[in-house]
Amino acid sequence: MDTLTRDRLNIVINGLEAKLDEVRKTVEGLLASLDQQERLQWPEFLDKFTSASNELATILNFVRRASVFPSSEDGTEFLRKQLIVPKCVFPDEDEELSDATNGRVTVWNHDTVPLYLRTKMTAEVESEEQSFESIMLGDEKTNRQIDLSNNPQHLLQYNADDDGDGRLSVFDRC
């Protein structure tokens, strides 16, 4: 890997780590608020939730940001081109790994590596996503047809006669 690519990758990773840490802290605060439901102020909770949503949008924009990448290349495309190969795979529990992941991952072995480095969704998740997309596309088409039927002006066109009086005529769009 050349120096420029390594530098660009380090910039992206360091920025993502910082922003993801902010999101993690925000989500932890939201979960702590939910644990204290009797004293929960819903407007304040919703503001925090909106903040978390905005932070996630910021992360997405950071990955796509043009100042890190050449203008012709999207950040997500740059990250997709990178190959990740684990250097160390241990069958035993790793305290450093557990501390770094807040106890979510304790072992980095041959069973966990494919799960965390997977780039393709499982078959069940993929079929669910396709069904959701087909439902959404169907709803989108229905909404477009409703909008067109509620707005018939696109079907009418004003034609002027030679003598100056006008008439309306309907044209088939096909």
| Mean per-residue pLDDT of the chain | 76
Render pLDDT for 24-33 as a digit per residue (tens, 0 to 9). 888 888 888 8
Q: Is the pLDDT of residue 149 over 70?
A: yes
**Which residues neighbour 27 within 8 Å (Cβ) at sequence distance 6 or greater?**
52
Query: 3-81: what CATH class?
Result: mainly alpha
Domain range summary for the chain, segments of one domain joined by +? 3-81, 84-149
Angle at 173 between CA 170 and CA 174, to 5 degrees: 135
Strand, helix or coil for residue 161: coil
Q: Are 98 and 106 in contact (CB under 8 A)?
A: yes
Quick check: 80 pLDDT over 60? Answer: yes
- Quick check: 67 pLDDT over 70? no
Q: How confident is the model at residue 69 (pLDDT cuts 50, 70, 90)?
A: low
Say if residue 44's pLDDT is above 60. Answer: yes
Q: Which bin fits 164, alpha (ψ -120 to 50), beta or left (φ > 0)?
A: left
d(CA 33, CA 86): 37
Give the per-residue pLDDT at 76: 62
Looking at the predicted structure, is the pLDDT value of residue 51 above 80? yes
Question: Phi first, then psi: what are they for 155, rounded to 5°?
Answer: -90, -20
Q: Residue 81: is its pLDDT beyond 80?
A: no
Number of neighbouring beta carbons within 10 Å of residue 139: 10
112, 105 contact by CB (below 8 A)? yes
Q: DSSP per residue over 50-111, as a string?
A: HHHHHHHHHHHHHHH-TTTS-TTS-HHHHHHH-----S---SSB-HHHHHHTTTS--B-STT
Residue 65's pLDDT is 67
